[in-house]
Structure 1
Amino acid sequence: MPTTASAPPRPRLLWMDVYRGLAVLLVVLLHAQTALVDSGLERSPVLSAVNAAVGSFRMPGLLLVSGMLLTLSLRRPAGEYLAGKLRRIAWPWLLWTAVMLPLFGWEAGLEPTWWLNGAHTWFLTVVFVGYVLGLLLKPVPPFVIAAMLFGAAMLVDPEAAAGSAGEWLLVLERMTWFGGFFFVGAGLGRWREDLPRIPWPFMVLPLIVTGDWARRAVEAGRFPAEETWPVMTMSVIGVVSILWLLAQIPDNPVMRAFAWVGRHSIVLFVVHYPVIRLLRRVEAIPDGLPGALLLFGAGTGVSLLLAAAYPWTRYLFEWPQRSGTSGASRRRTRTSA
């Protein structure tokens, strides 16, 4: 009887990759906008509205989609499972957290919380911890884990403590709140192939609610970042609704382009921010929309070049594979890691 490790990989789902690609591009856009503000330049009202509208679905969506692959990954032997997460998540997390040290000060590297919070790599911290918890708590239903994490997040208040205590609480807050979305995705993962087949009458109300939530965020000038059950519920409804909507779009060159970005989302995620941080020091950067688009274009452009050169830049984003690893094993890693 064949083992689970030798089972043929399932094909990638286009709409999941498209969502991941769109979400990571929106992260770049957010950081381009905030870089202007951090530099004392004027923000773009247009981009402020965009960032407010998508804020509830951007990072929660990236975590939820990542969690949808947990069940598939857990079919591997534990050693292979952990080795894959160390190679493809822990390595870029540590490497690119270290890359940010010259921009934030070398002394930051002496703080343990830097390696967990980083500057933008905290997302990889949450994903890695989520996969480890998924293995350790394998018998526990993912939705139960999600509920416990969300409940814990609502008890954490990083602003209530100063100094290093506040930093540790921030780590805990991110691990629990965003970890909750990871395990919601893990719970939904078993139905991911059924999601596109939900009849449209059942999705009309969730789509209307999602649109209204985004509209309210634009009117308020920010997305609701409070850690409450209603905010969590609306984020999940919004992410699932957008995933369903993307799944209804026929395969076409535009969808495949965004899906390619999604398959290389790790590259865009870790590379864009140091590029933006370096470029924002240039005094000639204009205010508003032109400046934000310049930073967005630079961060995205450099990232896409490194993604296109992945056979030569792979070591920047995953620990080199052992020479004895079979091609079939590598294909399994690319398909469901």
Structure 2
Amino acid sequence: MSSPVSPPSDAGAGSSRRMRWMDLLRGLAVVLVVIMHGATIPLSTDSGFREWVVVNQYLEPVRMPLLMFLSGMLLPRALRKTAGEYLWGKFAAIGWPALVWMVLYGVLIFRNGPFDAAYWATGDYLWFLLALLGCYLIALVTRKIHPGLTAAVMIATVSLTSLTILPDRILYYGTFFFLGAWLGRYVLAWSRTHPIVPLLLLGPAAVLSHLAVQDGSLRGGSWQAAAISVTCLAVVMWFAPKIPSNARTWFLEWMGRNSLVVYVTHFPILVVIHRTMDQLGADPLLHVSVTTLGGLAVTVGMVALRPWTPWLYASPRGDHRRAALSPRQ
């Protein structure tokens, strides 16, 4: 859901393929975020449609860690800029849309209004952008330190059972950001390893994800959860560069290139649809189906309108082609 790092060093067509598979993964991840919120906004886990919530819990070890890892892959290139260029770029591409949508959501949607202290302390649904901005600020301060060491320090300092506070989220998800900055250059080489290696990881990844459904601490906020996520990411990163770019992947690639728009707009849209379905007294299956599909459809419409609403997603003085979740920054 970033100002980037230098992609690994294959050139020409290889570079183009690499960017498309990164777009694909980002698109898949943000679409999964929309689907997850479509299920979890309207219904509690005992509401009669728990199965859909459980399906999304299986994906939790991958969804946001993947977005952070991909953003971290782009960090080295960003750090080649001067500090002034770097800070302005991060504000224009991440800070500005986070601020705009925090205000819009707080004024128009959030029940407690825009002046609720907890709202700003947690970042509400926009926590990812704020955590990502925090990671970029840490990266500037620690630019002389190996990102692998930064990742190790961050996960070592995580001692929490939930991820409700923004500093905790920066520490935990920042681990994947700095792992991406460290290991991103090796992804293509990893994808060429013998299939037996990822196949040996696939079984443990599936089992651990299943265990995490029963134990929330294994889905995030602990070193055990981070280990599960890293195992799952290793499998994903072996497979993703092999996916050919074609008509079947076009939609997800497009969503990936516009993933910032998807991320900041989807939640207010889902909340409005959810409240409407609540008033209609819809049954759980219809409620989730309409909220999810309707939310996706309207969000796609917001992406299509992006050329006419650029100020919603980047500072008017910034580069409007940038997006905090886009690998092309």
- Report the TM range for the smaller structure's normalisation: 0.7 to 0.9
What is the alpha-carbon distance in structure 2 between the residues aligned to residue 331 and residue 98 of structure 1? Answer: 21
- Residues 1:198 and 2:207 aligned together: no
State the Cα deviation string for residues 21-44 of structure 1 (Å, max 9, x = none): 111111111111112226x99352
Aligned to 2:89: 84
Contact 2:158–2:172 (CA<8 Å) still a contact in 1? Answer: yes
Is contact 2:93–2:323 with CA below 8 Å preserved after alignment?
no
Is 1:297 matched up with 2:293?
yes
Task: Find the counterpart in structure 1 of residue 30 from structure 2.
Answer: 24
Name the aligned partner's letter for residue 71 of structure 1: P
Q: What is the DSSP-based 3-state SS (H/G/I as helix, E as strand, rest coil) of the residue aligned with 2:61?
A: helix
Aligned 8 A contact 1:47 1:289 in 2: no
Which residues of structure 1 form unaligned runs of 5+?
A: 160-166
Following superposition, the deviation at residue 106 of structure 1 comes to: 5.5
Share of identical aligned residues, percent?
30
Structure 1 residue aligned with 2:328, among 303, 328, 336? 336
SS at match of 1:336: coil
Q: 1:227 aligns with which of 198, 221, 231?
A: 221
Is 1:317 matched with 2:313? Answer: yes
| TM-score (normalised: structure 2) | 0.85
RMSD: 2.9
**Which residue number in structure 2 is paired with residue 183 of structure 1?**
178
From 66, 72, 78, the counterpart of 2:77: 72
- CA separation of 1:285/1:57 partners in 2, compared to 1, >3 Å: closer, same or farther? farther
| 1:46-65 alignment runs, 5 A limit | 46-65=51-70
For residues 300-320 of structure 1, give each alpha carbon's deviation from its aligned partner in whole angstroms, at most 9, with x where no partner exists. Answer: 212211212221121111112
Aligned twin of 1:281:
275
Task: Write out the 4+ residue segments of structure 1 that deviate beyond 6 Å after TM superposition.
Answer: 331-334
Would you say the 8 A contact 1:16–1:243 is kept in 2?
no
In structure 2, relative to structure 1, the CA distance for the partners of 1:280 and 1:182 (3 Å cut) is same
Q: What's 2:3 paired with?
A: none
- Alignment of structure 1 residues 232-311 onto 2, 5 Å: 232-282=226-276, 283-284=279-280, 286-311=282-307
Query: C-alpha deviations, 1:151-201, integer Å up to 9, x for none?
Result: 2222x4679xxxxxxx7xx12211111111211111112223434323322
Compared CA separation, residues 192 and 321, structure 1 to 2 (3 A): farther
Q: Answer yes or no: is 1:207 the counterpart of 2:199.
A: no
Conserved? CA contact 2:42–2:287, under 8 Å: yes
The CA deviation at 1:230 is: 2.3
Contact 1:15 1:259 in 2 (8 A): yes
Q: For residues 336 and 239 of structure 1, what CA distance do their matches in structure 2 show?
A: 21
Report the CA distance shift for 1:289/1:198 in structure 2 as closer, same or farther (over 3 A). farther
Over 3 Å counting, the alpha-carbon distance change for 1:233 and 1:266 in structure 2 is same
Q: In the comparison of the two structures, how many residue pairs are matched?
A: 313
Q: CA–CA distance in 2 between the matches of 1:289 and 1:101?
A: 29
Following the alignment from structure 1 to structure 2, what is the Cα–Cα distance between the partners of residues 307 and 41? 34
Q: Residues 73-115 of structure 1: CA distance to partner in whole angstroms, max 9, x if unpaired?
A: 112232222221111100111111111213224654252x533
- Cα gap change, 1:145/1:331 in structure 2, threshold over 3 Å: closer, same or farther? closer
Aligned to 1:164: none
Q: Distance in 2 between matches of 1:98 and 1:137?
A: 31
Q: TM-score, normalising length from structure 1?
A: 0.83
CA contact (8 A) 1:49 1:221 kept: no
d(CA) in 2 for partners of 1:91, 1:114: 17
Q: Give distance in 2, aligned partners of 1:260 and 1:223.
A: 33
